[in-house]
Structure 1
Amino acid sequence: MKFSENWLRQHVPTTASRDELVATLTAIGLEVEDVTALGESLDGVVVAHIVSTEKHPEADRLQVCQVDTGNGLVQIVCGAPNARAGLKAPLAQVGAALPGGIEIKAAKLRGVESFGMLCSAKELGVDPDASGLLELPADAPVGAALAQFLALPDASIEIKLTPNRADCFGVRGIAFDVAAASGSEVAAFAAAPVAAAIDASVSVELNAAGDAPRYCGRVIEGVDAAAPTPVWMAERLRRSGIRPLSLLVDVTQYVMIELGQPMHAFDRDTLTGPIGVRRARKGEAVTLLDGREAALDEQFLAITDADRVVALAGVMGGLNTRVTETTRNVFLEAAHFAPEAIIGRGRKLGLHTDAAHRFERGVDPELPRVAIEYATQLILDAAGGKPGPVVEAALPEHLPQPQPIVLRRNRLARVLGLAVADAEVERILRALGLAVSSTAEGWSVTPPSRRFDIAIEEDLVEEVARIHGYDRIPTTLPAGAARLVAPSEGRVDAATVRRQLAARDYLEAINYAFVDAHLLQQWGVTDGAVALANPLSTELGVMRTSLLPGLVAALSRNAARQQTRVRLFELGNVFHAVAGDAPLHTLRVAGVACGTAAAEQWSLDGRPVGFHDIKGDLDSLAALAGARLDYRPSQPGWAHPGRSADVWRIAGDGSEVRLGWIGQLHPRLQQALGLDVDVVALELDLDPLLARAITRAGSQSKYPSVRRDLAFVVAETVAWGELAASVRGAAGASLRDLVLFDRYQGKGVETGFKSLAMGLILQEESRTLTDRDVDAAVTAVMAALQRDHGAVIRG
């Protein structure tokens, strides 16, 4: 929420300085994110009138202007493209000092004297626009101080609102909090009813029950829609982050910023009536103000004209019924829509509007008539016209009714840890606009209709705490002893995993648990995807079913920014739908890498990272838990054929569990994702990977080990993992380790076959192995390899 400091001070008179005001706002929970000072030093800047212009004799882009300052004519050399005779613009006279330290002196520009400077909004420090001179209204008084004419100095203040403070989406709502915190009072607000001058009206029908329990409208005929927006109104809008467009639109925006009530203006001549509010029907559509065609369904709330959809309730008006500068007759609307009827509707269409932002959080149901009366008076003052009667349709049974809440004196003191004087409690609550009456135990408090967030006693405690001052609440350390719990030795903790991967040259990434549904479709991992009912945006519409899509997207962003070697990992949950139950959360670890296997240095070549590099990283993780992993060829849709494997953990008793996947991404997927580098990746369930047996002390065998090396020729299609399983099964308990130390294809080996050389390390705990023992083990291994895989001893 952004607003003008002077505008706020109009509603709550206070002598606090700007710094004190900003500190007060933050202290009471309205965190100030930004303060932009406007027009701080404009002495010597006046409203001037360009009487005539002529081309500079020595420069094509300069003009020599004769300018009326109210005290005679002065000559100004100006290069602004919009400098023209008849224009009124700010003039910094000789001797003036502008924001940024610019001092104005008489000068010669290409041989022509200039006595001052015609200014843009940026040069004056009132707006970022530097495209030309700041154009002032035709009725601006020549010679008047610009600061006085534009109500300067001022500041644009932007605050960060929590979702529960919808009442502060209007300057007047903020004023109540400031008044309570500063011991002041909110100024009375004048929005007197405007008497009807004509009988013209449009009937209203409510057919959405509690979704739209109140709708107010009024016809104003004979409006001069081309009339300029008053300077004071345009400046307040500009300082609130809204660019003035046209009088009728600006009035509705102005009322919304000041009171917090969104409004809309229809061109009355485009309506046939009656106006209705109902649920949209599937297949209906409306062209919105921004020109897009919105396809509707039963989830949307529609404003209709004779059952024709003309606006999307609480979000945006329609293009075909909008007001323009040729509009003569206006239909103003202000309504109350239930938050649940508006939440997420704009985002479903890729829209985020000021109106939807407010209605989603809740708008005071008593404001529509007040807003209509206020907007009517503003339009009549600026554009003339004749108003009709206010037409109001309401469903009282669906309008929220504030209920009294009991605030106990003892409860307040217990929660805050200090006793706040009764008089101070009553002052705070009344200053916030709450109705307060004393009871024996404390107070009975009824919140105003604008305070949706106050519903229980704890809400009142919070109000007293933040206005009284959090800094005045004593800090007390809790008493008692905390029970220390030793970490389990049966599991490697996640912090150790992070340290290990960081030591392997990976950087940790943290991605959203929400992803784009299209991204999951590209990967082919949509099974069990959980769609969000109210996503932050269309790009974050489903819960992730895998860590890899988000992690590879992060790698892609880095690679697109000239990072040739990227290694990322992530620990996080993935989510899968479970019929009739909450989504299943699974903790996983994933890693991705591209570029060279090692960082650039003089002693190593630039070998690209491959499957076995990332496999080594995974083996280092498995070693933390003493896990034995088995890699079995697999080919999910996102994987490169022949370069991917499922990862299994083999327990000591021979049982096994699938952990996940490791390999290289498919070239087609890499192309679809816009990656021009090969990416290797892994993703595994973390819990079964990190489980480990309790470490137990044991003695090393004092008897020597024996090594036997064997070379086999076997079909190229036989995986090493299958051979290793056969060797371990045949060698028996004496086998301590098995090493593959050579792989050969070429001369001497038939096409379609490969030669594998392995080392068998044999050892016993209680005795020295004899040649007979070793020969028996080797013979068993050779027989098993021949029987299971057709392997032949290489000659």
Structure 2
Amino acid sequence: MQFSEAWLRNLVNPALDTPQLAHALTMAGLEVEALAPAAPPFNAVVVAEILSAEKHPDADRLRVCQVDVGEVAPVTIVCGAPNAAAGLKVPCARPGATLPGIEIKVARVRGVESFGMLCSTRELGLEGAADGLMVLPADAPVGEDFRAWLNLDDTLITLKLTPNRADCLSLQGVAREVGAITGAEVRLPQIQETPARIHDTVPLHVSAADACPLYLGRVVRGIDAQAPTPRWMAERLERSGIRPLLAPVDITNYVLLELGQPMHAFALSRLNGGIEVRLARAGETLELLNGQTAELAPDMLVIADAGGPVALAGIMGGQPSSVERATVDVFLEAAFFAPAAIAGRARRLGLSTDSSHRFERGVDYGATRQAMERATQLLLDICGGQPGPVTEAAAALPQRESIVLRLARLKRVAGIELDADQVMRGFGALGMQVERQGDSLVVTPPSFRFDLAIEEDLIEEALRLFGYDNIPAQPPAAPSRMLPQDETMLADDVLRQMLVGLDYQEVITYSFVDPAWETALNADARPLPLANPIASQLSAMRTTLWGGLIETLRHNLNRQQERVRIFELGRVYASQVEQPMKLGGLAYGDVQPEQWGATARRVDFFDLKGDLERLFGHALDSRRGAHPALHPGQCAELWAGGRAIGWIGALHPRLVQAFDLPAVPMLFELDSQALARRALPRHAALSRFPLVRRDLAFVLDIHTPAGELLTALREAASSQVRSIEVFDDYRGKGMGETQKSLAIRVVMQDTERTLTDREAEDAVQKLIDAALRQCNASLRA
């Protein structure tokens, strides 16, 4: 929002210069984005009147002018402007003046001495037409300092407001803030109720009461729409970025800037019957003031008469009912439209208007009638006319609930103790109703503050008024104590370091993925779609880490990286509630980098499984399974603690071809929580008694996993059994085509005594029985 500093100081004038005022506003949360002078620097320019303009004797395009500059006698000035004529009042730069890029001196022009220069807007660095002299109003005082007369020693302040501070989209709102921050007196315009002089009204009906809880209208007859807009009003409008057009329109724009209430003036003669505020109907269109024909959607709020829409509510008026220079009777409108009813509609039509900008954020519904009276008062003062009564259609307006601010919580959150009376005065200056109840303040927000709803909002307000830069910087008082660390939990950072130590590199990929990835990796996957994706290929939430890992592999292969070992620790999104943390990894290429000391070999299933066993610190329980993304013959389900924790295997040949990979990568994905919990090491004394080793060779079905046999043996082992490990897997001569032989090493030891042969045989027999019973395995002859 841009406005004139002079206008603001007319409402509140703190003892601060311009930079200090800008700093105070910024520190209060109203960031001053820019400070710019209203006009470039120049001096010695006065208001002058051309008394005569005669053709130069030696130049066709020059005129010799006699100019009254407020001195005893007129001065002679040679001028080349095509509009130089007697009777005009124009700015005149006197000898010695310094203009932007020009220094004025007494000069002889084609034999005629010239004592100054008559100026255009371009020569003064001002905006406006530059094809001739800048023509001033007839009442401009001759001899007056031009810069002072136009108040050009002004500064344009631009605020970069956050969306929650719609109350500061007006000079009244900014003045209120400055008064609360600095303690300066705020002098708002005195608005009196204008009595009706005629009885004319326009019938009002609001069909969409939820979207328009309040609508006011007033007829004013007999105005002079061609009346000139006062210079002070035009100046304030221009310095706020609004070009003056026609007095009735300028007045509504002025009220918008002054009070923050968008208004609209209809040409009464162009309205057909009464006014209805309703939602648009199918197929309706409206020609807007900017010439655009808007195709109205059913959720767009319109102001309509008997013939159809005449304005797009809260956004822009319609061209057919607009005020023109010949307009005599007008219908003034002021309303409160619910923000949800306006938000987004203007953008849909490619529009951005001052009205929609304010209504989308919330307009003060408690000051709508005040704005109507202010506009009426200005209209009568400038254009004349006879006002009718204010008609009103009202429904349920928003209610502001009281908020309790605990002073103890204010101190705890702020980190400093604020004086309760000072906080109350500040809240009162911002228009809030405040009551002290014990150690709390009960605060009722005003109708223009839509951003105040909870206790934290009031804490922010108290700190804003105190000044963020006034809060002392205090060193942290946290004691330097070591935090407890659970040794049974494996931290994510430690897990990452372990994987890096195994020659893996961490990657971080998007949680947003291409849905085609997910269905390719698992046809049963139901990835959550994004309502507003950042790109078409990132329109769903991932259900597995593999898609990102494979895409990273492709990226590296395209850059001639033939050996890739990567991992990612991140969440997957099975549903809006179920979002587990997973550890995924991919290995591709040779087991070791190219070297002379080892034969090159592609990474395989067992290499990847070995890496995972190093993470777990023990052999993994892997069971045969089937995953749609993995090779049917090189795929296993990982188990721990009696539950499935993930998958490991080679990428399915179908996907190798689909992803256009030259070779097969190995993948794993498991629940990271399965790695998080670890058993603490326990002290045990070394036994002084000898070990007893027995080697058992079991014959079992070729499809029975070794892990299944080991699990059965370990569950049946007695307390003297220290370890059970596989040390040979034989298939071939002496074995059936569907059989294999697994050699198991069983180590037994007792810490109290030497095991007897009988005890060792009994322990071994339990293992043999368990193998037969659970795995249909028999001892090899």
SS at match of 1:358: helix
Shift, 1:124, TM fit: 3.5
Q: Does 1:545 align with 2:536?
A: yes
Matched letter for residue 252 of structure 1: T
Which residue number corresponds to residue 316 of structure 2? 316
Contact 2:404 2:442 in 1 (8 A): yes
Q: Distance in 1 between matches of 2:208 and 2:306?
A: 16
SS at match of 1:244: coil
Which residue number corresponds to residue 375 of structure 2? 375
Q: Distance in 2 between matches of 1:187 and 1:495?
A: 67
SS at match of 2:559: helix
Shift, 1:418, TM fit: 0.9
Which residue number corresponds to residue 453 of structure 1? 451
CA 23–338 in structure 1, closer or farther in 2 if over 3 Å, else same: same
SS at match of 1:486: helix
Shift, 1:76, TM fit: 2.9
Shift, 1:470, TM fit: 1.2
Which residue number corresponds to residue 337 of structure 1? 337
Choose from 371, 374, 399 the match for 1:401.
399
Shift, 1:412, TM fit: 0.9
Shift, 1:337, TM fit: 0.2
Shift, 1:280, TM fit: 0.8
Q: Distance in 1 between matches of 2:239 and 2:211?
A: 33
Contact 2:13 2:185 in 1 (8 A): yes
Matched letter for residue 281 of structure 2: R
CA 75–458 in structure 1, closer or farther in 2 if over 3 Å, else same: same
Which residue number corresponds to residue 94 of structure 2? 93
Contact 1:491 1:690 in 2 (8 A): no
Please list, as runs of the form range in 1=range in 2, the aligned pairs for 1:531-680 lying within 5 A after superposition: 532=532, 543-546=534-537, 574-576=538-540, 616-617=558-559, 619=561, 622=564, 627-628=587-588, 653-656=649-652, 658=655
Which residue number corresponds to residue 364 of structure 1? 364
Aligned length: 572
Contact 1:649 1:689 in 2 (8 A): no
Q: Distance in 2 between matches of 1:170 and 1:622?
A: 61
Q: Distance in 2 between matches of 1:13 and 1:377?
A: 25
Contact 2:315 2:355 in 1 (8 A): yes
Q: Distance in 1 between matches of 2:133 and 2:193?
A: 40
CA 422–230 in structure 1, closer or farther in 2 if over 3 Å, else same: same
Matched letter for residue 232 of structure 2: W
Contact 2:651 2:666 in 1 (8 A): no
Which residue number corresponds to residue 716 of structure 1? none
Contact 1:649 1:659 in 2 (8 A): no
Which residue number corresponds to residue 285 of structure 2? 285
Q: Does 1:76 align with 2:72?
A: no
Q: Distance in 1 between matches of 2:180 and 2:122?
A: 36
Q: Give a deviation string over 1:710-730, Cα, whole Å, max 9, x none.
A: xxxxxxxxxxxxxxxxxxxxx
SS at match of 1:10: helix
After TM superposition, the score normalised by the length of structure 2 is: 0.66
Shift, 1:273, TM fit: 2.4
Contact 2:276 2:304 in 1 (8 A): yes
Q: Give a deviation string over 1:550-575, Cα, whole Å, max 9, x none.
A: xxxxxxxxxxxxxxxxxxxxxxxx22
CA 190–67 in structure 1, closer or farther in 2 if over 3 Å, else same: same
The percent identity for this pair of structures is 48
Please list, as runs of the form range in 1=range in 2, the aligned pairs for 1:221-300 lying within 5 A after superposition: 221-300=221-300
Shift, 1:309, TM fit: 0.5
Q: Give a deviation string over 1:103-159, Cα, whole Å, max 9, x none.
A: 322223444432222233454355476555433223322222223322331111001
Q: Distance in 1 between matches of 2:246 and 2:667?
A: 64
Contact 1:213 1:394 in 2 (8 A): yes
Q: Does 1:430 align with 2:451?
A: no
Q: Distance in 2 between matches of 1:377 and 1:660?
A: 79
Q: Give a deviation string over 1:209-265, Cα, whole Å, max 9, x none.
A: 121011111111121111221111111111111121221211111110111111111
Contact 2:563 2:588 in 1 (8 A): no
Q: Does 1:479 align with 2:482?
A: no
Matched letter for residue 97 of structure 2: A
Q: Distance in 2 between matches of 1:97 and 1:655?
A: 80
Gaps of 5+ in 2: 486-490, 514-526, 568-585, 591-628, 635-647, 673-781
Q: Give a deviation string over 1:81-109, Cα, whole Å, max 9, x none.
A: 554444332222223334x4743222234
Q: Distance in 2 between matches of 1:35 and 1:462?
A: 26
CA 105–443 in structure 1, closer or farther in 2 if over 3 Å, else same: same
Q: Distance in 1 between matches of 2:504 and 2:56?
A: 73
Contact 2:529 2:541 in 1 (8 A): yes
Gaps of 5+ in 1: 502-509, 514-526, 533-541, 547-573, 593-611, 631-647, 664-681, 694-795
Matched letter for residue 442 of structure 1: S
Matched letter for residue 628 of structure 1: Y
Contact 1:403 1:446 in 2 (8 A): yes
Please list, as runs of the form range in 1=range in 2, the aligned pairs for 1:672-711 lying within 5 A after superposition: none
Matched letter for residue 401 of structure 1: Q
Q: Distance in 1 between matches of 2:372 and 2:179?
A: 26
Matched letter for residue 354 of structure 1: D
Q: Give a deviation string over 1:517-545, Cα, whole Å, max 9, x none.
A: xxxxxxxxxx998565xxxxxxxxx6422
Contact 2:223 2:328 in 1 (8 A): yes
Contact 2:279 2:299 in 1 (8 A): yes
CA 491–261 in structure 1, closer or farther in 2 if over 3 Å, else same: farther
Shift, 1:472, TM fit: 2.5
Matched letter for residue 95 of structure 2: V
Please list, as runs of the form range in 1=range in 2, the aligned pairs for 1:84-233 lying within 5 A after superposition: 84-98=85-99, 100=100, 102-127=102-127, 130=130, 132-233=132-233
**Structure of greater Rg:** 2
Choose from 441, 444, 452 the match for 1:443.
441
Q: Distance in 1 between matches of 2:173 and 2:429?
A: 12
Q: Distance in 2 between matches of 1:70 and 1:206?
A: 60
More divergent stretch after superposition (487-496 vs 14-23): 487-496
Contact 1:222 1:328 in 2 (8 A): yes
Matched letter for residue 322 of structure 1: S
Shift, 1:4, TM fit: 0.4
CA 33–80 in structure 1, closer or farther in 2 if over 3 Å, else same: farther
Contact 1:6 1:154 in 2 (8 A): yes
SS at match of 2:389: coil
SS at match of 2:33: strand
Which residue number corresponds to residue 325 of structure 2? 325
Choose from 399, 412, 418 the match for 1:414.
412
Q: Distance in 2 between matches of 1:383 and 1:589?
A: 73
Matched letter for residue 139 of structure 1: D
